[in-house]
Amino acid sequence: MVGTDDRELFGKADVDSGEELADSTVTMNNQETMFRDAMEAAQVGIFIIQDQRFKFVNPFLAGLLGYSVEEMIGRMGPPDVVAPECQGLVYEQMSLRAAGAVGHAYELTVVRKDGSTFPATVQGSPAVIGGRQASVGTIVDISMQKSAEQRIRELADYDVLTGLPNRRLLRERFTQLQAVAEREEAELALIFLDLDHFKRVNDSLGHSVGDELLCEVARRLGSVVRRVDTLARLGGDEFIFAMPGFHTAAAADVARRLIDVFARPFEVAGHELTVTPSLGISIYPHDGDDLETLLRNADTAMYRAKEIGRNAFQFYSSEMNSSSLDRLLMESNLRRALAQREFVLHYQPLVNLESGLIIGVEALIRWLHPELGVILPDRFIHVAEESGLINPIGDWVLCEACRQAQAWRDEGLPPITMAVNVAPVQFRQSGFIEVVAGALATSGLAAGRLELELTERTVMHDADATMGTLSALHRMGVELSLDDFGTGYSSLAYLKRFPVGKLKIDRSFVNDLETDPDDWAIASTIVSMGRSLRMTVLAEGVEKPEQLALLRKMGCDMAQGYYFSRPVSAEGMADMLRRQPFIHE
């Protein structure tokens, strides 16, 4: 507090008479009172320094530092209340004020009595008190300002969900890493990591679970990188690693370790989730000399990793650009083809081996390209699946096949089963059951005349969830068959629970049936298994009479293949249904 003994702080007046002295004393007391009230009310730290000691501090400053006024005045100086690394700056500023230099605001770290710290702004000005140099100034706690600035920086530079650097900060750090790499003539690896089938998590469990999974993935990935590396999230399920000093072999080793990170399931919201990554790698400066080029090339390599089966990594090569361009053109043309109705269905007969009757047909899509002619599905289905176009294309196939089957029935042709292949993505789309029901209702086809063909991998992916969809289709009366049987990983425990009525022996076991004892053993085992489970067994890819004879001998129920007919148009199939050319005498 300020008392009458401190009047030298405010200056003295020369008086020649008692009356003038009295008047001066009253004035000084008023000034002192006003000063004291103003200092006590001020919500900013105010100090006066003389001889490197506090000559005056207001109550707010004392409280801010955790001391009493008495502890500070005359006993402590600025160096006693700042962090060690700031003491040199404080001594320098005190010397400048003592020399009469006007001060400017500067920041330092202040230390409280209890050892805690806070950032502060200090503004000092030179003064003369009692005929000697002094400094008058203020201290302002800028903790909230710094916190707000930090939050703004975080929002600008970091991903809100995972706390990882975002694209902006990645670009800034890459510029620094690139400068070092140029100076040291070193390489720099960029790894693009994308989660496989992450959309399924969001679709089946909700976005909140998906977000939590992304956070867990970020934590695990962070355990693999070095302090000098940058791990960033671009958005969605895409993560980027910028790793200095890595050549090709070292980058491959890191990629393997990143894949290993996903070997253990993630426990999220009471679920045990297994996800896998696909990684693409580009190397600076060989695959690009700027971030955008390296990112684009790593992304291209990542898609190649997905094409070879996922849960893998690929290095970028210049040939991939041509492949990527072809893929983009294919996707664009597919969208046009869907809009302009360039797709048609051809049909291949399914023949009963006991009677020779055509009792079913399989619908097979063809693309009638206006310039390239007929394009078979193996050239475009994988692009349709990756781009999401498989759903509208698959839905069209389903509706058109049902329409055609009912049209043949209306013409008086024998009743047959219409078999339609269902892609994994199409089967797992929300509303698939409604799509099937809509196709049947629109066409008027009886549900029992529609057979959906699913691969082993499709039904065994999340088998418990698949069971619900299969059961719903079965209750509708739709027939179900397991395509490419023997090439996947069906569990017999699930197989007997699935409401599947037909097994299709994959053509790989039929090709060399008459010459390879192993193929014969596998095919005959599937036939026996199907019979035991009261399922119909159909052999695909029958091309030779010797194959047909062996299939009949082992008791196979049905067959399809070029021996009977290649896929033909709807008109050709109608003619074949009328003639029934495969009936035995």
Q: Which domains does the chain have, with CATH numbers?
A: 42-145 (3.30.450.20), 158-317 (3.30.70.270), 342-579 (3.20.20.450)
Phi, psi (degrees; rounded to nearest 5) at 302:
-65, -40
The DSSP letter of residue 347 is E
Instruction: Give the pLDDT of residue 212.
Output: 94
Buried b (16+ CB within 10 A) or exposed e, 542-568: beeeebbebbeebebbbbbbeebbebb
Query: CA–CA separation, 103 vs 88, rounded Å?
Result: 16
- The helix (run of H) or strand (run of E) holding residue 315 is strand 313-315
581 preceded by cis ω (within 30°)? no
32: tokens are 């002192």
* Res 497: pLDDT: 76
pLDDT score recorded for residue 328 = 66
Prediction pTM value: 0.52
Low-confidence ranges of the chain (pLDDT < 70): 1-32, 35-36, 41, 154, 318-328, 460-465, 486-495, 584-585
Q: Which of 446, 364, 359, 360 is nearest to 400 (CA)?
A: 364
Q: What is the CA 320 to chain-centroid distance, rounded?
A: 23
**Rounded Cα gap, residues 465 and 168, in angstroms:** 40
In the sheet with 188-195, reading across from the earlier edge strand, the strands are 230-235, 238-244, 188-195, 277-284, 313-315
